[in-house]
Amino acid sequence: MSAFSIFAVYFIIWWLTLFTVLPFGVRTQAEENEVVPGSVESAPARFRGLRVVLITTVIAGLIHLGWYVLSVKLEYDLDAIFGFIGPRG
């Protein structure tokens, strides 16, 4: 597998993880009682972008490492997943 393909898989995992991590710990302006005029009450009170990016990078790195070991080093493919789940029939 080429380095570009490995990076592409990491990018896809990172992007999916980003949307999973985004809502963690978010407090709305209504919860903080600090609604900015002209914005909706459900908008985040404080956006912590660097924290989200760091957490996303760590989690995506761990998932990617697991994928890399199973797929590239141990040569498991999608057919092997069904073998783990149970017998076919």
**In this structure, how many other beta carbons lie within 10 angstroms of the beta carbon of residue 64?**
19
> CA-CA distance, 17 to 68, in Å (whole number)?
16
What residue ranges do the domains of the chain occupy?
6-27+45-85
User: pLDDT band for position 89 (50/70/90)?
Assistant: low
Q: Render pLDDT for 8-24 as a digit per residue (tens, 0 to 9).
A: 999 999 999 999 999 99
Q: Render pLDDT for 10-59 as a digit per residue (tens, 0 to 9).
A: 999 999 999 999 999 889 999 999 898 998 998 888 888 899 999 999 99
> What number of residues does the chain have?
89
> CA-CA distance, 81 to 89, in Å (whole number)?
15
User: pLDDT band for position 76 (50/70/90)?
Assistant: confident
